[in-house]
Structure 1
Amino acid sequence: MTAAFPANFIWGSATAAHQVEGSNFNSDCWALEHARPSLFREPSGDAVDQWNRFADDVALLAALGLTSYRFSIEWARVEPNEGEFSTAALDHYQRCIDACLQRGIEPIITLHHFTAPIWLARKGGMTSSEFPERFARYCEHCVRALKGFSIVCTLNELNVPLVVREKIQSLISDPSSQSAVKAAEAALGSPLTSMFLFTPEEALLSHGLAAHAMGRDAIKSVRPEVQVGVTLAIQDEVAAEGGEAHRDRRIAETITPFLEAARGDDFIGVQNYTRIVSQSDGSAGPEPGHPLTVMGYEDRPQALAQVCRYVWEQTQTPIIVTESGWAGDDDRRRQAFIEEVLEELHGAITDGVDVRGFYYWSLLDNFEWLAGYGPRFGLVDVNRTSQRRYIKPSAIAYGAIARRNGLPNGDRSTANGSRHLLSGSALGI
């Protein structure tokens, strides 16, 4: 017996350009990584060299049994100087799309995944009133130049600076971080708020939401048939006794305005990793005593389905789970987490929530922003000296679910505990 998902349900995995491509030296994030001292644990460097290995990684994904790959176009490569668009970079991304299509993999592209050209940061990034227009121009140029895709995400986790602002503020206000903040601003040539992850609330609610709307309209003006949405970081917001007002405030500030803006889009990209418990004293975080991942998140596979139920109730807009994942070295737990998440998600779909796809974050162990290469989310391990890929058992288990388009009732043990070196024959190349 199988707990089946809807026909044509999308099974995928996701990455972001800066985290996997390597040598994205024209971006604001690259500048911050190489400031001395740096707020980042380490620089991205060659990352996992996907700029040169994209076709192999897509073949890997297809060999696992997945049907779609979500990846991002790097603005810093496409528009290295303001108003100057790189045909070579766009040709590269067309080859990436073609590599997906040749393997029967549906490409879903994201046009902004945290990073931007350094020239844009020096003009204020999203804090500039000109950001929406610049973003829309970039979106239009990309979709005119590229073909072979049917789903586009405008901005990744548009609300995430608000979700993490307490941690960010704690970091940059720490006396021990002041020299790193000064070095960061010198490297950017502008205030730290010019980089997306540090964007203040007022800029997100004005220029950020406007950028999504103008970017969506620009895409539709060129390719009206393309499905367009924004992705949002939404954790399962709950309250301990006495914490209800604090929970409601968090929802009103970090979620509601963005759902309002996305209502009526072709889809909303839901990205969930955990739940947040608001306490009576106003603090919020993991439930005390519950196990955590290496990211400090509560290990809570039930959270995604709860969020999807909430988003559907609030918006009646189709959902694609554009990210969900587990960080750590215990791959048995990763496999169990995926299966538990999907069991809960299947229940939500059965109850009428319109969820059309699931993308595990991430395909590859990669560069995790300020935390560097420490946290491991990937289905595939990468030896960054040799750049060899090793398939984890969780990848095989997830691929088996995708192949059958459902969960086997009562049996979660589908892979042994051994890593697998991906060979040419396994890739089909």
Structure 2
Amino acid sequence: MPSRPAGARPGPGAGADFPDDFLWGSATSAHQVEGGNTNNDWWDFEHDPATAARESSGDAIDHFHRYFEDFALLSALGHNAHRLSLEWSRIEPAPGEFSRAALAHYRRVLTALRDEGLTAFATLHHFTRPRWFAARGGWLAPDAAATFGRYCARVTAELGDLMPYVCTINEPQMIALHGYLEGYHPPGVTNPILWKRAGDALLEAHHTAVSAVRATSDAQVGLAVQLPLLAPAREDDACVAFCEAMRYEIVDRYLDGVDGDWLGVQYYRKQWVDPSSPTRFAAPPPGTPLTQMGWAVHPDGLRQMLHRAARASLPLYVTENGIATTDDAERADYLATHLAALAQARAEGVDVRGYLHWSAFDNFEWSEGYRPRFGLIAVDRDTFTRTPKPSAYAYARVARTGRLDALAEQEST
């Protein structure tokens, strides 16, 4: 009997919690790991002392040059899928001007991913916009959807053969919320009217992108949405009604408006909504377990939001889920409780076909800089040395066996 190749998983066998064809992996985004993405609005935001950004992304973790070894490491850790993004500002550095060098680079990246046996989930827009696109009004420009569609069509025409799964936009509702209501991300606006207008524009851009992808490739196209579990801070009528309104704006309008072949669910936390708060959200109740980001850990929220996402009537993939912590034992516990919630949702009939942990590596966390540690793999930012954490090996055991109890097993030599 031939030996099993490195990174391959056995069949589920007796006692498996997930089927053999379940996709297991992790996620990254270009700006957070590549380094040197100087032609986008985030680079400008990071270098403006008036913004919420703590530091520059700089060289990030130099994934732009180290992708080959990174994919080999992920494959060795039992992953059979990986989510990454393509940097729009590299591919289209000026309006209508497409870089052959950048497209060739991403062909090499996607080829390396395929050759390591990792199924690609390629995101076309993960928060960063080309500087020229932002200067023209970003998502509020009248031709924003058409401009984005042109970029999507070019990318999938050139690279679609290497992208079995394509995500149009990462977390459109968080782009709108953080960028146009909270001012926490570019363009740093705090305007409730523009917040809703940006949401409309992003949904239009998603629909335009779906048409562009389908016209130029055979890729399965979808959308990745962050779905926090929202609850009223108080049980009075006004607070409950406000919570329902916020749930519609952040969650349901995107589930009802999605177009595509699949839906990515990204879950991190429970949030309490409060109309009397200037931020519209209340602090978690005292004693609530919190991450480095101050986010409330609530594992059953993943199960609940998978059920809510099922209203889209599409196959679901968990495209992000993870914890910012310097305590890796806490990360292993987070994995155990959230994967159990995922398994329960599947047992209850929700069609979930894969889990991509956020994130593969400790990396640049937007306005929070490098302080939060989300990665399964630590990175020395002076030498760029990669070091898998114990949680990475625990996750590998689940990926290889499909069994939740493998998390607690001892790593063999």
Q: TM-score, normalised by structure 2?
A: 0.89
Contact 2:181/2:195 (<8 A) preserved: no
1:65-214 map, 5 Å: 65-146=78-159, 147-164=161-178, 168-169=182-183, 192-193=188-189, 200-214=194-208
1:162 offset after TM fit, Å?
4.6
1:37 offset after TM fit, Å?
4.8
Q: Which letter does structure 1 place at the counterpart of 2:245?
A: R
Residue 218 of structure 1: which of 184, 191, 212 is its match?
Answer: 212
State whether structure 2 residue 303 is matched by structure 1 residue 293.
no
Q: Find the counterpart in structure 2 of residue 244 from structure 1.
A: 240
Contact 1:26/1:80 (<8 A) preserved: yes
Q: Find the counterpart in structure 1 of residue 221 from structure 2.
A: 228
Contact 1:2/1:407 (<8 A) preserved: no
Q: Which letter does structure 2 place at the counterpart of 1:295?
A: M
Q: Find the counterpart in structure 2 of residue 413 from structure 1.
A: 408
Q: Which letter does structure 1 place at the counterpart of 2:163?
A: F
SS in 2 for 1:141: helix
> 5+ unaligned residues in a row in structure 2: which ranges?
1-13
C-alpha separation between the residues in 2 aligned to 1:199 and 1:374?
33
1:8 offset after TM fit, Å?
1.1
Q: Find the counterpart in structure 1 of residue 58 from structure 2.
A: 45
Q: 1:305 to 1:158 in 2, by over 3 A?
A: same
1:289 offset after TM fit, Å?
2.1
Q: Find the counterpart in structure 2 of residue 419 from structure 1.
A: none
Q: Find the counterpart in structure 1 of residue 19 from structure 2.
A: 6
Deviations 1:121-162 (A, max 9, x none): 110110101110010000000011112221000000000145
Contact 2:181/2:194 (<8 A) preserved: no
Q: 1:40 to 1:118 in 2, by over 3 A?
A: same
Quick check: 346-355 or 270-279, which moved more? 270-279
Q: 1:23 to 1:199 in 2, by over 3 A?
A: farther
State whether structure 2 residue 265 is matched by structure 1 residue 270.
yes
1:287-366 map, 5 Å: 287-312=285-310, 314-366=311-363
C-alpha separation between the residues in 2 aligned to 1:199 and 1:403?
48
Pairwise CA RMSD of aligned residues?
A: 2.4
C-alpha separation between the residues in 1 aligned to 2:377 and 2:250?
32
Contact 1:293/1:328 (<8 A) preserved: yes
1:306 offset after TM fit, Å?
1.1
Q: 1:280 to 1:109 in 2, by over 3 A?
A: closer
Q: Which letter does structure 1 place at the counterpart of 2:220?
A: Q
C-alpha separation between the residues in 2 aligned to 1:57 and 1:160?
28
Q: 1:247 to 1:405 in 2, by over 3 A?
A: same
Q: Which letter does structure 2 place at the counterpart of 1:367?
A: F
Q: 1:128 to 1:379 in 2, by over 3 A?
A: same
1:273-284 map, 5 Å: 273-278=268-273, 283-284=281-282
1:344 offset after TM fit, Å?
1.0
SS in 2 for 1:58: helix
C-alpha separation between the residues in 2 aligned to 1:5 and 1:297?
28
Contact 1:393/1:415 (<8 A) preserved: no
SS in 2 for 1:135: helix
SS in 2 for 1:200: helix
Q: 1:308 to 1:39 in 2, by over 3 A?
A: same
Q: Find the counterpart in structure 2 of residue 260 from structure 1.
A: 256
Q: Find the counterpart in structure 1 of residue 9 from structure 2.
A: none
Q: Which letter does structure 2 place at the counterpart of 1:276?
A: Q
C-alpha separation between the residues in 2 aligned to 1:255 and 1:69?
25
C-alpha separation between the residues in 2 aligned to 1:208 and 1:355?
25
Number of residue-to-residue matches in the alignment? 392
1:165 offset after TM fit, Å?
6.7
Percent sequence identity is 38
Q: Which letter does structure 2 place at the counterpart of 1:154?
A: T
C-alpha separation between the residues in 2 aligned to 1:210 and 1:270?
20
Q: 1:133 to 1:295 in 2, by over 3 A?
A: same
Q: Find the counterpart in structure 2 of residue 421 from structure 1.
A: none
Q: 1:39 to 1:159 in 2, by over 3 A?
A: same
Q: Which letter does structure 2 place at the counterpart of 1:128?
A: A
C-alpha separation between the residues in 1 aligned to 2:102 and 2:96?
14
> 5+ unaligned residues in a row in structure 1: which ranges?
173-183, 185-190, 417-425
Deviations 1:168-218 (A, max 9, x none): 25x69xxxxxxxxxxx9xxxxxx6459xx9993233233211100000100
Contact 1:318/1:356 (<8 A) preserved: yes
Q: Find the counterpart in structure 1 of residue 400 from structure 2.
A: 403
Deviations 1:286-310 (A, max 9, x none): 2332111010100222221110011
